[in-house]
Amino acid sequence: MKFTTPATTNPIDQLKVVGHPLDRIDGPAKTTGSAPYAYEQHEAAPNAAYGHVVGAGLAKGRIRSINLDHVRRAPGVIAVISAENAGALGKGKMNTARLLGGPEIDHYHQAIALVVAETFEQARAAANLVKVEYAKEKGAYDLDQARESATVPKSSKPDTRVGDFDRAFAGAPVILDATYRTPDHSHAMMEPHASVASWEGDKLTLWTTNQMIDWTKGDLAKTLGIPKENVRLISPYIGGGFGGKLFLRSEALLAALGARAAKRPVKVALSRPLMINNTTHRPATIQRIRIGATRDGKISAIGHETWSGDLPGGKPEEAVQQTRLLYAGAHRMTRTRLAVLDLPEGNAMRAPGEAPGLMALEIAMDEMADKLKIDPVTFRILNDTKVDPEKPGRAFSQRRLIDCLRTGAERFGWKARNAEPGKRREGRWLIGMGVAAAFRNNLVMKSGARIRLDAKGIVTVETDMTDIGTGSYTIIAQTAAEMMGVAIDKVVVRLGDSRFPVSAGSGGQWGANSATAGVYAACVKMREAVAQKLGMNAAEAEFTDGAVRAGGKNVPLAQAAQDGELVAEDSMEYGDLDKKFQQSTFGAHFVEVAVDSATGETRVRRMLAVCAAGRILNPKSARSQVIGAMTMGLGAALMEELVVDTRGGFFVNHDLAGYEVPVHADVPHQEVVFLDETDPMSSPMKAKGVGELGICGVAAAIANAVYNATGVRVREYPVTLDKLLAKMPAMT
């Protein structure tokens, strides 16, 4: 089905099931422990052996020799895989780093061997016997030093320019020119990267934890040099991903190689240090922002430059994306530069581009408002735009940034904020409020599904869409229930299997809207099949309460399948709508903090997010997505940082003891408001995404609140007490 214009009559708009805050249908399986995650496929892959990955002990160089003799003779060892015996391996299009290193080493903890043994303990013990002699080479590990040699990346639009930015900025009455830094971040999801592989002849089945089934199936087949149809991926439950499980990773490839060598199923899970150094992370950025404005607060010039690093052939952190679209200004410039760094691969993490970009831009907006002596909320409203600032002829399909800011200011009690920093105290605590706009583009992807109807009236949905803890099972069930006119307990949802139709997958905030639109398309085809079977006009048929009505007939839905199961399959595609309309999601974050005037300890006290993100398919699961994103934003603001050893080229704090993330005690009162909005230009569901919008702007709102509390402006994340103490107001 091709989606080009809004439907005039749309069964989804009945909203009998869609749009309601229903409990997660996968909740009972997860809370009782009966939901099988990738590493737990005991029955599907019986008699599995265990693989343990050996990571490279240096960041850049070559393996001179690798001694595996003692390893092969160790108790329980079945097979040992290395570059020497793995055979020729291709390289999938989605990965920057090679998944099995040797003799060249690309980054620290690059996988160089897999030891397969009867038990996990035997595999781990034998892996510790691997002896490697390296030839070390000089690498680049410091973004500040590599910045000077950064080049224009090979991306679709690294630089943009509208008007004459240089002249407008130089002539502006009020200007800001500031540099901001964001550190490397880890996805730090709960479930490790894990896979179980099993071969039957030349056919491979891989149970894995992966967000994008079809991408990974193709890359695995290409890497192994086998036909894509010989690979089956299964990933029904995923314990968090945040972008870290978008692509084929080393544990999946090595499980497949290990199982082929052992001639039995092999399971592999990465340890936490290997997750952080072997897989992907959010790259650090250096961002320079320049804003020029008239004295009454109108932006006349805005420029945003960003530098990040990655392995050779990698991609930049495109932190300027939101600046191209968020605020008005006749004269504009954005510039993206990429340096070569020999650190573990940088890649997508929740809201790549916008999340770190807004960490800088929204502090800059706060600083500019301060220079102009204009309220930060008012300053943002003053510079709103209804058209794409780089393409004035293209309007936004929906843009309610002003509504988000005004609604948030009213609900949060923004009027009580003291505009002069450091003036509100509660004993030894300095109290401040901060605000930031939220922005994330609305992406849509082709997505397919298959619908089955049986003689009991049960509707089964099959799609390779994944659920990474986001609620995909539930919103897909709600969509099918609405379209087919049945209760949600009459819907069975089967996800995460490459034998099912290819979906959008979970990533880029496109999953919910795109996947449900694919289910919608398949349900439209099923409605047509049912109507034809029952001798009804499909255009007139109403599906409600488990029955079909048309032309004076009222027939149970199940009757259409009495002669055999009905099956319908279709996908949703999206024409050129993105050329006609700019589709984005908007929000506003408000935060109150307390900073100890003696120690600099910062405590977030309350948070509010207001989101305009199209139709909210399930307010309960959507709220969970947003408060989770807000929590991640809190971590980015105050604690999260992968510390780089610039001598050895690795992340020092590569476990959950050293990489600090928020815990329950850090998370305050959180409130989420969804504006009542539908976007008929987005999809037949009239929805958008919200899971990444929730993180965008949060860190800046916290940094701005810290400034309001203390008068100390921190431009380098995380905002830790060592960056505050020397400049804190004197205690009275």
End-to-end CA distance of the chain: 68
> What is the secondary structure of 306-367 as a DSSP string?
EEEEESTT-----TTTGGGTSS--SEEEEEEEEEE--SSPB---SSTTHHHHHHHHHHHHHH
pLDDT reported for residue 575: 84
38-138+189-278 CATH choice from 3.50.50.60, 3.40.50.150, 3.30.365.10, 1.25.40.10: 3.30.365.10
pLDDT reported for residue 487: 98
89 touches 223 (CB < 8 A): yes
DSSP conformation class of 614: B
Q: Topology of domain 379-443+580-727, per CATH?
A: Aldehyde Oxidoreductase; domain 4 (3.30.365)
pLDDT digits (tens, 9 = 90+) for 207-252: 999 999 999 999 999 999 999 999 999 999 999 999 999 999 999 9
pLDDT reported for residue 94: 83
Backbone φ and ψ for 568, nearest 5 degrees, come out as -140, 140
Name the amino acid, one letter, at 361: L
∠ CA 305-648-652 to the nearest 5 degrees? 80
**Numbered ranges of CATH 3.30.365.10 in the chain:** 11-35+445-573, 38-138+189-278, 379-443+580-727
pLDDT reported for residue 8: 64
Burial of 671: CB neighbours in 10 Å, binned 0-12, 13-18, 19+ = middle
pLDDT reported for residue 5: 66
Helix (H, G, I), strand (E, B), or coil: what is residue 25? Answer: coil
Name the amino acid, one letter, at 3: F
pLDDT digits (tens, 9 = 90+) for 560-573: 999 999 999 999 99
Q: Which helix (H) or strand (E) holds 376?
A: helix 376-382
pLDDT reported for residue 579: 81
Structure tokens at 126: 């034998």
Backbone φ and ψ for 453, nearest 5 degrees, come out as -125, 125
Helix (H, G, I), strand (E, B), or coil: what is residue 473? Answer: helix
pLDDT reported for residue 632: 98
710 touches 423 (CB < 8 A): no
Asked: is 11-35+445-573 a CATH 3.30.365.10 domain? The reply is yes
Structure tokens at 291: 């804003």
pLDDT reported for residue 470: 97
- Cα–Cα distance, 103 to 84 (Å, whole number): 9
Tell me which residues are annotated as active site. 692
Which segments in the chain show pLDDT lower than 50?
A: none
Q: Which helix (H) or strand (E) holds 179?
A: strand 174-182
Q: Which residue has the tokens 């994103």?
A: 629
Burial of 67: CB neighbours in 10 Å, binned 0-12, 13-18, 19+ = exposed
Structure tokens at 281: 């992370």
